[in-house]
Structure 1
Amino acid sequence: MIIAGLVLLVSQSGVSCDDEKSAVRLGNAELGTVDEIVEAPGTVTARTAATLTAPAGGTLGELFAEPGQRVRKGDVLAVIDSPDLTRRRDAAREALAQLPSGSSAGLGAGGTGLGGSSEFTAVRKRTDKQAAHAFAEARRAAATITDPQVRKALLDQVGAAEAAYETASAASAAALRSVQNGVTSLGKAMGSLSAAQRLQAEQAYELADAAVDALTLRAPVDGIVQLGGPAQPSAGGSLAGILETGQVPSVTGGTVAGVDPAVPEGGWVAAGTPVVTVVDTARLGLTAEVDETDVLLVDAGVAAEIELDAAPGAAFTGKVRSVDLLPTTSARGGVSYQVRLDLGPLDADSPTPRPGMSAVIRLKVRQAAGAITVPASAVINTGGRDTVWTVRAGRFEAVPVRLGVQGEDTVQITSGVSAGERVVIAGADQVSAGGEAP
């Protein structure tokens, strides 16, 4: 919705035409400044709100953060105990420790010839099967982790390990073919297979250990701790509405009306249970929901005046940083666009806004300084044209005009009327062309 504020007010004579009963009032066209304002509802945003969730089912073993505590990126906030992942890691460590240290690769000592080759093939197939099982288990464990960034990192690690093992397995198969062709000895081929076996065991342990390491929850950003996580979505809005950027691990929606109950130490957590949220308030911003009829007037750098529902009487400032290209459906059912703003410096006596607070944002989309202005009430529509009744040579005359910046109280006249001219500001329906003016 477009409204306006006038920086330099237009003076009005308030002269009556004939007597007090007349509703015709006159004023003057003046030089002044007109601001065109787009008003939109908005919300205070945080730079980031990152909710850390339990990567897998288990118990909250340790909690190192308190509500309201300021933490730095990388600080350990909590540790989840997951018996399933821990057992898998311990089993992989034991299998690695029991692997033969020599180059026998699990073959019978002194195996040569056809029998040795047959046993070599059997061991290689068994090793491939063990590797496939280990990679499948690693993917299964990664899939249970709800944090998309951690899950992706683990899956990428599984993929890289699988590619490395396939290379080692292919090398051992090539070595066996060389043996069968009489190019190399079975001993050298066994060395290649032994390397593949050890690589498989090491990778199985490393992948299992990485899954356990993911149970340690570290702060992804600098910020302030809040235990638990955003509540479930409701009619109040969405978590995205209070965020300036998109880093919200494991959380896709919710409101700021409440938080999920904090999990106590030793309490059971299912995979995906919110444990702790870190809110980065180092740079507060706002998002405004601007109607499609006004959004083309809004550009980066446009200044704004802001009022918060929670702080009546307090004045805040801001500046547009960007305007989204894709639309959203507004609360009123129409099409609107998200406009993102930086919150200006706070006055010493102003309260500090909190993410999620409702705001009314007035965007100063256009300004005309030193312009010829008339009260908005002086402009009427006659035959589809903007018109102003003026007083020329003592008589009323309807003059077509062209408008510039349009405010709520005053408008800019770019042609048709000059500064200082007397104009009708009320009662235009009671004047006629050529009528004598006072």
Structure 2
Amino acid sequence: MSRSPRRATVLLLACVLLPPLAAASCGDEPSGVTVGTAARGTVDEIVEASGAVTARAAGTVTSPADGTLAELRVDAGDRVRKGQVVAIVDSPAAEKRLDDAAEALDAASGGNVSTGGGAAGFTAARRRTDANAAKAFAAAREAAEEITDPALRKALLAQVAAAQRQYAAVSAAAGAAVRSVQSGVASVAAAVDALTAAQRVQARQAYELAEASVDALTLRAPVSGVVQLGGTASTAAPSLTDLISNADPTAVGTPAQAPLPGVDVAVPVGAAVGAGTPILTVVDVAGLGVAAEVDETDVLLVKAGGTGTVELDAAAGARYVATVRAIDLLPTTSARGGVSYRVRLTLGRGTYPDGTAAPAPRPGMSAIVRLRVRQATDAVTVPASAVVSRDGGDGVWAVRGGKAERVPVTLGVQGEDLVQVVSGLDAGQRIVVAGADQVSPGQDLP
């Protein structure tokens, strides 16, 4: 039977064409059988995969607390730098926590702790201090968890953890002092000093954590790039994280409810916001890429540094150059159960067939990627339709003495249109190039 292409996703380009088959054929050939000759040329094997254009990085700026959007210092399309102030949220609740913490800090700094008298009073005072500390840590951690900027959230949570460790040491020292008073081996003054120190540390930490929460109300750009107001488009669309090509994708906040059709998702200045409400998204499009899903049967052929071309539905006819940057080690599984691996490419400039420049793509645009994975130069080539596979081996029908003779061949670079013959056949030899599945040994051929 005639050999089918090795895989549906492999294409092949040849820079040397076979001699015209019409000139090599004869009117006396059996119906559907065409005789031609093996040729010599350069063959590129291409792996084809679908993918999407990716941005270098992106991050959505969200409100860290309930309040109102007091200032919006940028507009859609503006370019911003990483760390630039882009908006300010007014949160009365966060500011009240800071005011209360400031009052508590002033009170703790004013004098010694009031124990209420006796060992029981010392124990009660320590328990109140521990309870206040636990409450402050819980409130600070809750506020930090609501922040979607991963770097800021990580920093605030680390600050809470460090404060807890510091307070635990001071609280343990106060507890030891109270037990010493109870056992009669230490003076009351020592216990008072230890409890006072614990209260002061607790009050100072509560103030610093509340202050950090208020500072977080000043929103800064997580990356350098172009501003897009609001968050991602909708819950039905792929998340922006999936369209980021860098190693550290930033989390994307989601509004409390989907926006109504036809309503601008941008939050106006003065509007109420909740913790996690997306204010704006910054997208770094300075270096675009492509994420392609390559089937498991092809991925071992793809190498970092390999080259290819990219075609976009949005720019019909244009071709963009691309270079393989990395191949993921872990697979992705499609809804149908197929296994593929994500190949990440750097996207270059594109041109139309007439040489004019193609437009710059946008993240998320659908792409077809064609990667050149193998090449054979000055190689013997035959049409893929000339190859017949039987009993686990490949061969072609050669024309010798006017009769068909099956010749075993070893194939190299393979494709849909042409394949390379490594051994068993020489350029110029006459072979059956079409209708090979209709030929039998010894059959008369011109």
List gaps (5 residues or longer) in structure 1: 109-114
Deviations 1:295-331 (A, max 9, x none): 3322322221111111112111112222223332336
Cα distance in 1 between the residues matched to 2:373 and 2:406? 30
Cα distance in 1 between the residues matched to 2:238 and 2:161? 39
After superposition, where does 1:286-365 map in structure 2 within 5 Å? 286-330=290-334, 334-346=338-350, 349-365=357-373
Give the counterpart letter for 2:372 in structure 1.
K
Q: What is the RMSD computed on CA atoms of the aligned residues? A: 2.9
Residue in structure 2 matched with residue 41 of structure 1 by the alignment? 50
Residue in structure 2 matched with residue 17 of structure 1 by the alignment? 26
The answer to whether 1:409 aligns with 2:411 is no
Cα distance in 1 between the residues matched to 2:434 and 2:146? 72
Cα distance in 1 between the residues matched to 2:47 and 2:157? 48
Cα distance in 2 between the residues matched to 1:22 and 1:390? 17
Q: CA deviation at 1:206?
A: 0.7
Give the counterpart letter for 1:7 in structure 2.
C
Residue in structure 1 matched with residue 199 of structure 2 by the alignment? 197
Partner residue of 2:279 out of 265, 275, 281: 275
Do the aligned residues in 2 keep the contact of 1:55 with 1:147 (CA within 8 Å)?
no
Deviations 1:240-280 (A, max 9, x none): 432213422344899xx999700000001122111110101
Residue in structure 1 matched with residue 104 of structure 2 by the alignment? 95
Do the aligned residues in 2 keep the contact of 1:58 with 1:82 (CA within 8 Å)?
yes
SS at match of 2:412: strand
Q: CA deviation at 1:437?
A: 4.4
SS at match of 1:31: strand
Residue in structure 1 matched with residue 394 of structure 2 by the alignment? 386
Q: CA deviation at 1:209?
A: 1.0
Cα distance in 2 between the residues matched to 1:12 and 1:39? 28
Give the counterpart letter for 2:271 in structure 1.
G
Residue in structure 2 matched with residue 112 of structure 1 by the alignment? none
Residue in structure 1 matched with residue 243 of structure 2 by the alignment? 242
SS at match of 2:268: coil
Residue in structure 1 matched with residue 59 of structure 2 by the alignment? 50
Q: 1:135 to 1:428 in 2, by over 3 A?
A: closer
SS at match of 2:177: helix
Q: 1:421 to 1:259 in 2, by over 3 A?
A: farther
The answer to whether 1:5 aligns with 2:7 is no
SS at match of 1:124: helix
Residue in structure 2 matched with residue 63 of structure 1 by the alignment? 72
Cα distance in 1 between the residues matched to 2:433 and 2:348? 38
Q: CA deviation at 1:3?
A: 1.8
Aligned length, in residue pairs: 428
Do the aligned residues in 2 keep the contact of 1:55 with 1:144 (CA within 8 Å)?
yes
Q: CA deviation at 1:203?
A: 0.6
Deviations 1:5-37 (A, max 9, x none): 113333345322345996543322222111121
SS at match of 1:220: coil
Give TM-score, length-normalised by structure 2: 0.87
Give the counterpart letter for 2:281 in structure 1.
T
Residue in structure 2 matched with residue 426 of structure 1 by the alignment? 434
Partner residue of 1:227 out of 229, 234, 237: 229
Cα distance in 2 between the residues matched to 1:372 and 1:182? 100
* Percent of pairs with identical residues: 58
Q: 1:18 to 1:349 in 2, by over 3 A?
A: closer
Cα distance in 1 between the residues matched to 2:207 and 2:171? 18
Give the counterpart letter for 1:136 in structure 2.
A
Q: 1:129 to 1:384 in 2, by over 3 A?
A: closer
Residue in structure 2 matched with residue 130 of structure 1 by the alignment? 132
Cα distance in 1 between the residues matched to 2:348 and 2:335? 27
Q: 1:289 to 1:433 in 2, by over 3 A?
A: same
Cα distance in 2 between the residues matched to 1:25 and 1:72? 65
Cα distance in 1 between the residues matched to 2:358 and 2:180? 81
Q: CA deviation at 1:292?
A: 2.8
Residue in structure 1 matched with residue 5 of structure 2 by the alignment? none
Q: 1:349 to 1:21 in 2, by over 3 A?
A: same
SS at match of 1:425: strand
Cα distance in 1 between the residues matched to 2:223 and 2:169? 38
Q: CA deviation at 1:179?
A: 4.5
Q: CA deviation at 1:70?
A: 0.9
Deviations 1:48-67 (A, max 9, x none): 12111111211111111111
Do the aligned residues in 2 keep the contact of 1:10 with 1:29 (CA within 8 Å)?
yes
Do the aligned residues in 2 keep the contact of 1:396 with 1:432 (CA within 8 Å)?
yes
Cα distance in 2 between the residues matched to 1:252 and 1:276? 11
